[in-house]
Structure 1
């Protein structure tokens, strides 16, 4: 399929129609990927920190699995947001945070905190941890699979919690929610966009803008690829934005070689019913970019962050806003603009 433009109203139509030949090719790609992944050892490095005794999930639980590395400022709003959407249990791997994240997480009664003897890079950039937790807590159930700087938004999400959305997905035989990352940023002086997490404000009240245009969509035989946004426009970072943060995990599932295209691939083709508001750009973003470079845990020797730092060094006072910047006002705005497909019947 030739390159298309995102957003497009509803993200439906030809983008999701696939011929029998393409479906067979997707099955073949899945089979090949599974063969390449054979022999990868299952993660044995995780240790439960709190609570002291492992707690099974109940049938009514909606668990959220996430990774954390020095995101203490985001954690109060992160937990508040997902509790409001119906999450009943948080399951976190803390990757040796030094900013008080682990101590804060241990104080949360609905959260299970794990650590690892490995670092993020050695755990297949966290995929081994996530898969290990899915096995530990049980398959054949829905999970949220999120990072601590990602906030899932979908149509009327504050009126329709996640169990309602899951029922809508199941009614359409969809078992994996497609939701691209939407990078958020302050319109004007980023140096003044301080977010500490010490008050009731949500991160989208500080970094409240996103790129309204400039995205490209290409459908291949493994997933729907979306690229663009402020990281592409300002830093030239051509990164994959598509993720699948809500998924039914069974014995056939794997995060594979790339979290942006989990296995089996045939589940990666469905309308986009949500987005992940992604928060990297506050007043301290330059410091955090340097920390990512120094940590050496990211793909390709943190190549994306190295390129970002080169742009920052050349223009430390760069502005993020442009004529296509849009202020975030709520979930329904994203439906109207075509970023998100309508999930519920109109009132």
Structure 2
């Protein structure tokens, strides 16, 4: 039997959450696009949280349209650099806006687009500096991928984040356009990746994963990587970017996962361009806004200010080639069934 203190705490938590939800609803604005999407069965709705994202948008749209995405839903967190005007020029876009601080409202901000535009649809969660990739992207595209997942009864796909960097100092990328950074950030380092079983109690948010089931026990959670190696960050590298928001699924209660999902037997990669452009200025802006939800930016900003010529490149770095080679490196999980599916549907 629960004691009075436990009951009081639960009641207080519910009241606080109700107030937080009410404040979020009051702060929400619909700025652009339809309030309901006209989608086909195999359409995937891309969902992106954005603030001051003009640096990324040209290459972002090019990559995801080539993959087969037709619907882009952006939740803006207070852009002031022309991001909203730029998105409005693109077909198939929706913009909602909530300027509340991410440190307190990120879960609600990320969940809202899926619950509003992605009910009983496949949703692809990506940030502006993330390039999602997978075996068969150029041959069967995103629609082929979800057809495979749906045919198996899977409702989510895990992807591992691969930090991309150039050969020289990071500061040299500060003035380069994103298109050029994508061409020059050719290297990655996976020597310091820490791996845990998917349901390991060592994962800080393991309670959120307990209702998820795996099709392949080789799917794991990764942490640290090159940012841990260089900056001492204990960052999580694993995400569930692709999720079917159907019955029993809770999309994005945490930036890295959804709940109530059946995880696919194959994993993809998110090429992460955290250090493209003026990453030092972005970290400083994040610190100024108080958005320290992940607790990473302060230490990174301090180290980069102390060493302006800091580079992530070392003798451990590998050059990017293609997704399939990450299977051999043990970074991604391969599925014979999926590879056969891709071959059959080229």
The answer to whether TM tops 0.5 is yes
Counterpart pick for 1:57 among 14, 21, 38: 38
Cα displacement (A) at 1:203: 4.2
Cα distance between partner residues in 2 of 1:77 and 1:205? 11
What is the aligned partner in structure 2 of residue 166 from structure 1? 146
**What corresponds to 2:182 in structure 1?**
204
Larger RCO (CA under 8 A, 6+ residues apart): 1
1:79 equivalent in alignment to 2:74: no
List structure 1 segments (4+ residues) > 3 angstroms apart after TM superposition.
Answer: 34-43, 221-224, 269-272
- Over 3 Å counting, the alpha-carbon distance change for 1:36 and 1:225 in structure 2 is farther
Deviation per CA, 1:92-125, whole angstroms, max 9, x where unpaired?
A: 01111122211111111211111125333342x2
Residues 77 and 202, structure 1, Cα contact 8 Å, conserved in 2: no
What is the CA-CA distance between 1:185 and the residue it aligns to? 1.0
Alignment correspondent of 1:296: 290
TM-score under structure 2 normalisation? Answer: 0.80
> What does the per-residue CA deviation read over 1:9-61, in whole Å, with 9 as the maximum and x for residues that have no partner?
xxxxxxxxxxxxxxxxxxxxxxxxx999866344423221113x524332343
Within 5 Å, give how 1:1-347 maps onto structure 2. 40-41=17-18, 42=21, 43-44=24-25, 45-51=27-33, 53-60=34-41, 61-123=43-105, 125=106, 127-193=107-173, 194-197=175-178, 201=179, 203-219=181-197, 220=200, 222=206, 223=209, 224-255=220-251, 257-264=253-260, 267=262, 269-299=263-293, 303-342=295-334, 343-345=338-340, 347=343
Aligned residues: 304
Q: Is the 8 A contact 1:46 1:116 kept in 2?
A: yes
1:270 is displaced (CA, Å) by: 4.5
Instruction: Quote the offset at 1:262 in angstroms.
Output: 2.6
Q: Please tell me whether the aligned partners of residues 73 and 196 of structure 1 are also in contact (alpha carbons under 8 angstroms).
A: yes
Asked whether the equivalents of residues 44 and 123 of structure 2 are also in contact (C-alpha less than 8 Å), the reply is yes
Which residues of structure 2 form unaligned runs of 5+? 1-9, 210-219
1:8 matched residue in structure 2: none
Deviation digits for residues 64-112 of structure 1 (CA, Å, limit 9, x no counterpart): 1111112211111111111111111000011111222111111112111
Aligned residues of 1:66 and 1:146 also touching (Cα < 8 A) = yes
CA contact (8 A) 2:52 2:83 kept: yes
Q: Deviations over 1:291-326 (max 9, x none)?
A: 1211111216xx311111222233221221011111
| Deviation of the 1:259 alpha carbon | 2.6
Q: Are the counterparts in 2 of residues 57 and 137 from structure 1 also a CA contact under 8 Å? A: no
User: In the TM superposition, what is the alpha-carbon distance from 1:160 to its structure 2 partner?
Assistant: 1.8
Structure 1 residues 95 and 169, CA gap change in structure 2 (3 angstroms) = same
Q: Higher helix fraction: Structure 1 or Structure 2?
A: 2
- Alignment partner of 2:339: what SS? coil
Q: Deviations over 1:144-197 (max 9, x none)?
A: 111111111111311121111112222333211000211111121323324324
* Alpha-carbon distance change, 191 to 160 in structure 1, aligned in 2, over 3 angstroms: same
| 1:66 and 1:91 in contact (8 A); partners too | yes
Rounded to whole Å, the distance in 2 between the matches of 1:90 and 1:314 is 39
- TM-score, normalised by the number of residues in structure 1: 0.79
What's the C-alpha RMSD, in Å, of the aligned pairs?
Answer: 2.6
Question: CA 1:271–1:214 in structure 2 vs 1: closer, same or farther (change >3 Å)?
Answer: farther
Alpha carbons of structure 1 residues 317 and 203: separation in structure 2 relative to 1, 3 Å: closer
Q: Is the 8 A contact 1:286 1:312 kept in 2?
A: yes
State how far apart, in whole Å, the 2-side matches of 1:47 and 1:143 are.
21
